[in-house]
Amino acid sequence: MKTMSYPLLALTASLLLACGKAPEVPASPSATAAAAAPVKLSQYTPEQFYATKSYLGNDINASGDAMLVASDETGVFNLYKVSVDGKNWQPLTQSTTDAIMPVSWFPQDDRVLYSADQGGNELDHLYVRELDGSVKDLTPGDKLKAMFVDWAADGSFYVLTNERDAKFFDLYKYDGKSYQRSLVYQNDAGYDVAGISPDGRYLAAIKSRTNADNNVHLIDLSAEKPTETLVTPHQGNITHQVYSFSRDSKTLIFGTDEQSEFSQAMAFDIASGKATLFSKADWDIMYIGFSKDNKFRVEGVNADAATKVTIVDQQSGQPLTLPALPAGDLRSVEFSDDGKTLSFYLNADNSPSNLYVWTIGSAKAERLTQALDKAIDESVLVVSEVVRYPSFDGLQIPALLYKPKQATNTAQVPALIWIHGGPGGQSRTGYSASIQHLVNQGYAVLAVNNRGSSGYGKTFFHLDDLKHGEHDLQDIVYGKKYLQSLDWIADERIGVMGGSYGGYLTMAAMAFTDEFKVGINIFGVTNWVRTLESIPPWWESFRESLYAELGDPAKDGERLRRISPVFHGDKVKKPVLVVQGANDPRVLQVESDEMVAAIKKNGVPVEYVLFPDEGHGFVKKANRISAQQAYLKFLQTHL
């Protein structure tokens, strides 16, 4: 689960920190501040926080007058045609059950491609919405998964599906008018297809060796039998990723950590077969792309858990100067075909993603949405602080600290350690309704990026390999010790919570330590043997990488049982809340069923919330509200 192609849990990027003797943790500014009277502020319900609208997508259509946007304002994500001035929102879909995710406008007209699964089962299909509103499933079938890849210059498009072999994805080319398709590449090698050149000749693909080593291959589709070129010959453990092709199809831009702790961008000249440095930063380069007219290059860097975006004019080599904007990270930068209009989202800890449109060169970018519900006073939201603390071995652990505005050294507050998914994920800056609601209710949150998190260098990234539930768990325990050093924390009222891999570490903390007052396990792995034996078939391309990181259930069964909380339910002594989606293909419902039963045998308080219409992550607004209500009620009762 340690390359961008690994879909097990949230994957982002991370800073190598020295493993020697750690410096003392500096006191929080509040630790030396004079005692202050408790702050009174408005507190809001989960319904009010989740009245916030979420938006996805901002592709600009061929005529340049509208964008394709998904919004969950109806409770489920649906598509809208949004005029570039934001005044007209035309509904395009009316789903009441499954989330509709935007893919793209057609290049010549306002037909739409979108994707949807069924109740969170992750078996996404690709659909076309015709101009008359009718819908066609382009990838019909009961058990297949499909993914859009890109458009061809002639208006046809490329799609990956695993219908031939559930383990591997083949590439098809669809006619843009008749939707007839032809097989372009049969993926018998089990590659992760990562991109296709604009002229349709070259395919970029990744082949994983281990979780620390992979290769990029360039496949020439022009011959009767596709030919391959190894783009990344190397020695030792090096990881690579594919960013994009140049617009003229002559260059492949890929990432490598061969010369650095972080991913740098290389330009592979296809004609000569030579790779040269294209771009580097002091952190991981997350992505590189180009505007449709090739005038601008867009580059995103993961800078200490925040995204820093640079837009460069390729002719002058100078960064594009954006108009004045509120503080936050740019997301989803999209250009119109003529390069004159830019659409993007702006997101911050204290502001959900809002959609902006900018006519390049004009004095002001227009904000088109009000994502935060108007009932909430924006001043009550909290901006996180990047902190670091020493773990058991002196390793500095990065984290985001959210301090409630009620908290003072005379009005101490309970705290939660928030653990991200992954295990190779990262807690990053940006709006979270769940975190902001808990902080608003008076709970401090420390979002820990324990060893094994991405974004902090390849050494830090691999420190948890085959040590899960051990060294990374100690990082969580030492996060508690850090919180206890703050004079505004009620140091005996500290809990732990997390989703997916974070749910696993939550249960590990409750079973294998006696440190935390409560635990909230959100669809967390509790039986590693079963989970690794029952991974979805479409993860086959990186099965060996998964085993290299977590263990092979056939060879490492004893260790995996030892770190699996379900086999140690008798050790759980403090209250636990478990939340699960019945359709989860990654963490099966039986995992949570058995964990709850094991805790109940002890007579320990355990609560269980099961959503019959969700998978690995809750996309329906009503379910997110119900889950948040359950978190708050549980914490108010036990913490």
Cis peptide before 423 (omega within 30 of 0): yes
Per-residue confidence (pLDDT) for residue 26, from 0 to 100: 36
Per-residue confidence (pLDDT) for residue 134, from 0 to 100: 97
Number of structural domains in the chain: 2
Does residue 363 sit in the same domain as residue 381? Answer: no
Residue ending a domain, among 367, 394, 422, is 367
405 within a domain of the structure (yes/no): yes
Contact between residue 589 and residue 578 where contact means Cβ atoms under 8 Å apart = no
492 within a domain of the structure (yes/no): yes
CA distance 6 to 424: 9
C-alpha 316: how far from its chain's center? 34
Q: Angle at Cα 348 formed by Cα 122 and Cα 628, nearest 5°? A: 55
CA–CA distances in Å: residue 87 to residues 244, 337, 559 = 34, 21, 58
CA distance 638 to 543: 40
Does residue 501 sit in the same domain as residue 577? Answer: yes
Cβ-proximal residues to 459 (8 Å cutoff; 6+ apart), any chain? 16, 261
Does residue 42 sit in the same domain as residue 89? Answer: no
What is the C-alpha radius of gyration for the chain, rounded to an integer number of angstroms?
24
Cβ-proximal residues to 516 (8 Å cutoff; 6+ apart), any chain? 417, 480, 494, 495, 496, 509, 510, 574
Sheet with 168-174, strands from edge to edge, namely 146-151, 157-165, 168-174, 181-185
Does residue 509 sit in the same domain as residue 563? Answer: yes
CA distance 38 to 380: 14
1 within a domain of the structure (yes/no): no
Per-residue confidence (pLDDT) for residue 2, from 0 to 100: 33
CA distance 349 to 371: 13
Chunk the chain into consecutive blocks of 10 residues (it has 639) and report each block's average pLDDT, rounded to whole numbers. 30 27 34 46 91 94 97 94 96 94 97 93 94 97 94 96 93 97 94 95 93 94 92 95 97 97 98 97 97 95 96 94 94 94 96 96 96 92 97 98 96 97 92 96 98 96 90 97 98 96 96 97 92 76 75 87 94 96 86 94 94 86 94 97
State the amino acid at position 217 in one-letter form. Answer: H
CATH of the domain at 553: 3.40.50.1820
Residue ending a domain, among 367, 402, 422, is 367
Per-residue confidence (pLDDT) for residue 33, from 0 to 100: 38
416 within a domain of the structure (yes/no): yes
Cβ-proximal residues to 563 (8 Å cutoff; 6+ apart), any chain? 468, 469, 470, 508, 528
6 within a domain of the structure (yes/no): no
Residue ending a domain, among 300, 332, 367, is 367
Does residue 312 sit in the same domain as residue 447? Answer: no
Does residue 421 sit in the same domain as residue 508? Answer: yes
What does DSSP assign to residue 393?
Answer: T
Per-residue confidence (pLDDT) for residue 617, from 0 to 100: 81
Axis crossing angle, helix 471-484 with helix 501-512, rounded to the nearest 10? 80
Backbone angles phi, psi at 460, to 5 degrees: -60, -40
Does residue 474 sit in the same domain as residue 542? Answer: yes
CA dihedral in degrees (567, 570, 576, 582; nearest 10)?
30
Does residue 287 sit in the same domain as residue 188? Answer: yes
CA distance 349 to 307: 12
CATH of the domain at 145: 2.120.10.30
Q: Would you state the structure tokens that stand for residue 76, as one six-digit string?
A: 């489920």
Does residue 438 sit in the same domain as residue 327? Answer: no
Q: Would you state the structure tokens that stand for residue 612, as one six-digit string?
A: 């019959």
CA distance 51 to 54: 9
Cβ-proximal residues to 395 (8 Å cutoff; 6+ apart), any chain? 17, 18, 19, 22, 451, 463, 475
* DSSP letter for each residue of 488-532: TEEEEEEEEEEETHHHHHHHHHHHH-S--S-EEEES----HHHHH
Q: How many residues does the chain have?
A: 639
What does DSSP assign to residue 562?
Answer: H
Provide the whole-model pTM.
0.88
Per-residue confidence (pLDDT) for residue 599, from 0 to 100: 95
Does residue 354 sit in the same domain as residue 402? Answer: no
Judged on CB neighbours under 10 Å (0-12, 13-18, 19+), 536 is: middle
Does residue 396 sit in the same domain as residue 361? Answer: no
Pick from 562, 538, 559, 535: which is nearest to 546 by CA?
Answer: 535
Provide the domain limits for residue 619.
Answer: 29-46+376-638
